[in-house]
Amino acid sequence: MRRLVALNILDAFITGSYMLTIPLLLVDRNIDLTTIGVIFSAFPIVFLVSRMLFASAADSVGLKKFFNLNALGNLASVVLYAISSSPFSYAIAKAAQGVKEGSLWAVNRNAAYEITSSENPQMVTSTILFVRALAIAVGAVISGFLIFWTGFQGIFVLLAAISILILIPARILNIGQRRKLTLNELFEKLDPRAVDRRIWWTSMVMSSYTAASTLAVGFVLPIFLSEKGLGYWEIGMTLAMYTGVGALLLPITLRRTPSVKKTILIQGLLYVPAVILIPISGSWLMIVMVMMMAFGECTSYIIWESLISQSVIECENIATAIGFLHAPSNLVLIPSFLLSGLLIEKFGYVAPFWIAGILFLLYSITAWRLLKHQDKR
């Protein structure tokens, strides 16, 4: 378990750096918001396709190959971002980022399920998400300081070194069955007609959260904070605190399984009012509301993982089932990224934030309808 956690920490550090660095880099290169949305939309397309292919293969050939691919994908994306100079080349770099994320999340939860014997698999994967949240926070804040002192190229040197380090835990992890995989077997597993109806229903519920998070955070939040007058290191600190609050929930999940009803109520009461007030608040209240939204979103990790474990834990091919479960969410990312830039340019920041609030409320209500039978309190 420690090796899997170590790999996730290193990968999440790079993800946290990208969360801050890439939107600000594109703005610094005088790329307009609509084009930024198009560039970011390359990510979910590649992420979805690669994740589904890798997940289908992983159920037969084992998981180690895909952890190694994650390390190489991280290095490739760093190099491509560093040498890019046009919207098209940045889109290629974003696609490489999709491969690095697709290779990891094709097997990440499955690896956690295989390593642990816990009766609450959603708590194990929630723990990994909270550890990742802390690493993302550290990545964002360190990147903010490095960009301030050395410029954008300085951060890419650090990220390239971390990408190489990922190969150490990746090569040690040796999980899952390994046997020869035929193309017929691969594509047979990818047949959506064989997917259980409950997985498709759960996936639609999850996609409303994905759309909300993309519209309110995605590339929107760092650019919004920049336009509000915050410097690079201040934005880095804010994003670090945003993702880092998830780590504060770690002791709760390790101690006991929280009530589903209470968790959903808390996430809604924190997230929805905050996302409404952020675009219309002054500087100090805006930061408070961003932190309040962060607590709401990080609380929802528990519900997200509960939805996944409930849907796939009894499936024969868990990695493939998880891939199908995330497919609608990945597809929703594309219009969400495109709409983010268009909405801001046409109507200002109020539009994406308020729409995100409505979508998150919808997610909370529908998730409760799916999970209420789990709550025995």
Q: Which residue has the higher pLDDT, 325 or 268?
A: 268
Give per-residue burial for 22-40: e unless 16+ CB within 10 Å, then b.
bbbbbbeeebebeebbbbb
Average pLDDT of 175-179? 56
Q: Is the dihedral of CA 162, 165, 167, 168 positive or negative?
A: negative
Contact of 190 with 60, CB cutoff 8 Å: no
Contact of 134 with 247, CB cutoff 8 Å: yes
Contact of 170 with 7, CB cutoff 8 Å: yes
Phi, psi dihedrals of residue 180, rounded to the nearest 5°: -70, 135
pLDDT of residue 373: 64
Say yes or no to pLDDT of 14 above 80: yes
Average pLDDT of 306-327? 79
Average pLDDT of 137-144? 91
pLDDT of residue 166: 94
Q: Which residue has the higher pLDDT, 224 or 188?
A: 224
Q: Which CATH number belongs to the domain containing residue 353 in this structure?
A: 1.20.1250.20
pLDDT of residue 88: 96
Say yes or no to pLDDT of 249 above 80: no
Structure tokens, 347: 């109507």
- Per-residue confidence at 73, pLDDT binned at 50, 70, 90? very high
Structure tokens, 284: 């100090």
Q: What would the pLDDT profile of 185-218 be if each residue is shown by its tens digit?
A: 655 666 666 677 788 889 999 999 999 999 999 8
Average pLDDT of 92-99? 96
Range of the domain at 245: 2-176+183-374
Say yes or no to pLDDT of 377 above 50: no
Q: Identify the H or E element spanning 219.
A: none
Q: What is the mean pLDDT of the chain?
A: 86
pLDDT of residue 173: 66
Average pLDDT of 228-254? 79
Contact of 16 with 143, CB cutoff 8 Å: yes
What does each C-alpha distance from 153 to 44, 71, 81, 133, 148 come to in angstroms?
25, 20, 9, 24, 11
Structure tokens, 364: 């909370």
Say yes or no to pLDDT of 9 above 90: yes
Determine the Cα–Cα distance for residues 95 and 66; give it in Å rounded to an integer: 17
Average pLDDT of 117-123? 59
Q: DSSP character for 229?
A: T
Determine the Cα–Cα distance for residues 277 and 285; give it in Å rounded to an integer: 9
- Per-residue confidence at 81, pLDDT binned at 50, 70, 90? very high
Q: Which residue has the higher pLDDT, 120 or 3?
A: 3
Among 122-131, 216-225, 322-331, top mean pLDDT goes to 216-225
Output the CA torsion 119→101→144→39 (10° steps). Answer: -140
Determine the Cα–Cα distance for residues 269 and 292; give it in Å rounded to an integer: 9
Closest CA to 308 of 61, 129, 78: 129
Structure tokens, 108: 């990440």
Q: What would the pLDDT profile of 287-310 be if each residue is shown by its tens digit?
A: 999 999 999 998 888 888 888 888
Radius of gyration over alpha carbons of the chain, in Å?
A: 20
Q: How many separate domains does the chain show?
A: 1
Contact of 323 with 51, CB cutoff 8 Å: yes
Between 115-119, 222-226, 251-255, the lowest mean confidence (pLDDT) is in 251-255
Residue ranges in the chain assigned as alpha helix (H) = 2-28, 33-61, 64-83, 87-105, 108-115, 121-150, 152-165, 167-172, 183-189, 197-216, 220-227, 232-248, 250-255, 260-277, 283-312, 318-347, 350-371
State how far Cα 112 lies from the chain centre: 17
pLDDT of residue 52: 84
Average pLDDT of 107-131? 72
- Per-residue confidence at 1, pLDDT binned at 50, 70, 90? confident
- Per-residue confidence at 29, pLDDT binned at 50, 70, 90? very high
pLDDT of residue 247: 66
Between 19-28, 56-65, 134-143, 249-258, the lowest mean confidence (pLDDT) is in 249-258
DSSP for 281-305, please give it: S-HHHHHHHHHHHHHHHHHHHHHHH
Output the CA torsion 51→52→58→63 (10° steps). Answer: 10
Say yes or no to pLDDT of 21 above 60: yes
Cα atoms in the Cβ-side hemisphere of radius 13 Å centred on 241? 13
Q: Tell me the whole-structure pTM to 2 decimals.
A: 0.82
pLDDT of residue 209: 95
Between 10-19, 83-92, 314-323, the lowest mean confidence (pLDDT) is in 314-323
pLDDT of residue 223: 94
Q: At what angle do helices 283-312 and 318-347 cross, to 10 degrees?
A: 150
Say yes or no to pLDDT of 94 above 90: yes
Say yes or no to pLDDT of 376 above 70: no
Among 110-119, 126-135, 149-158, top mean pLDDT goes to 149-158
